[in-house]
Amino acid sequence: MGQSSDVAGGRGSKAPPPARHSNPAEPSSPASSVDQVVDDELISDLGAEYELRGDVVADELETAKAEATEWRDKSLRAQAEFENTKRRLETRHADALLRAGERVVVNLLPVLDDLDRAIDHAVGDASDVADGLTAVQRKLLEVIGREGASAIDPLGEPFDAEKHQAVQMSEDVEVPDHTVVDVFQKGYEMHGRVLRPAMVVVSTGGPTRE
């Protein structure tokens, strides 16, 4: 009976082995070797596309941004230079047109002067020709007016040295001093520029102009 109880008590059975607990300090499989294997496999799988990995793409992106900014600045400068050149050419073209118009008007001035004298003579003789000459004069003045030119006929106005040329002084106490009392020859201006000053007689001896 005692022998059988020893067997039953466990002498005949084997105790389970003690459980093994992993030691945190115990080295595991080397990660570096695994990583190296993974990297080598990744490089092999991606081939040339491996160069498109994150760090390389970030650097290339920054380089591309810098180049884009540089080209944008160059484009803006080129556009500004183009606009400046365009404005200069437009100004030159407009100035050339004005100069051409001025030459035409200047060449017509002697004709207008002859018409003025002919009209004065015809009016003095009470000739019927005066109306016809006046009509021709009016048409010529309309032509040069469309070009921006107009006559300077300052009778009774204050003397203006920029538009008038005094060829004679005349004492006249009834009008303010330095008043145009006669016009020998009309002047002409175009777009604010005097083509020819008017030749005038200026008063002297009158009251001071306020």
Rounded percentage of the chain residues whose pLDDT exceeds 90: 39
| pLDDT of 199 | 96
Q: How confident is the model at residue 208 (pLDDT cuts 50, 70, 90)?
A: confident
- Residues 189 and 196: their CA atoms lie apart, in Å, by 7
Question: Could you report the per-residue pLDDT of 138-195, keeping only the tens digit for each?
Answer: 999 999 999 889 999 999 999 999 999 999 999 998 999 999 999 999 999 998 899 9
* DSSP alpha helix (H) spans, the chain: 2-6, 31-46, 54-124, 129-146
- Residues 189 and 31: their CA atoms lie apart, in Å, by 96
Q: Please name which of 186, 125, 119 lies closest in space to residue 155, comparing C-alpha atoms.
A: 186
| pLDDT of 48 | 56
| pLDDT of 196 | 95
Q: Determine the distance from the C-alpha atom of residue 38 to the mean position of all C-alpha atoms in its chain, rounded to a whole number.
A: 60
Would you identify the CATH topology of the domain 150-210? Nucleotide Exchange Factor Grpe; Chain A, domain 2 (2.30.22)
| pLDDT of 40 | 64
State mean pLDDT over 197-203.
96
DSSP letter at 171? E
- Residues 210 and 178: their CA atoms lie apart, in Å, by 11
In residues, how long is the chain? 210
More confident residue, 157 or 90: 157
List, edge to edge, every strand of the sheet that includes 187-190: 149-152, 187-190, 193-196
Encode 139-192 in three state secondary structure.
Answer: HHHHHHHHCCEEEECCCCCECCCCCEEEEEEEECCCCCCCEEEEEEECEEEECC
Query: Residue ranges per domain, the chain?
Result: 68-147, 150-210
Q: How confident is the model at residue 201 (pLDDT cuts 50, 70, 90)?
A: very high
Question: Could you report the per-residue pLDDT of 17-62, keeping only the tens digit for each?
Answer: 454 444 444 444 444 444 444 466 655 655 555 555 556 667 778 8
The answer to whether 158 and 191 are in contact (CB under 8 A) is no
**Matching residue, tokens 């009158």:** 206
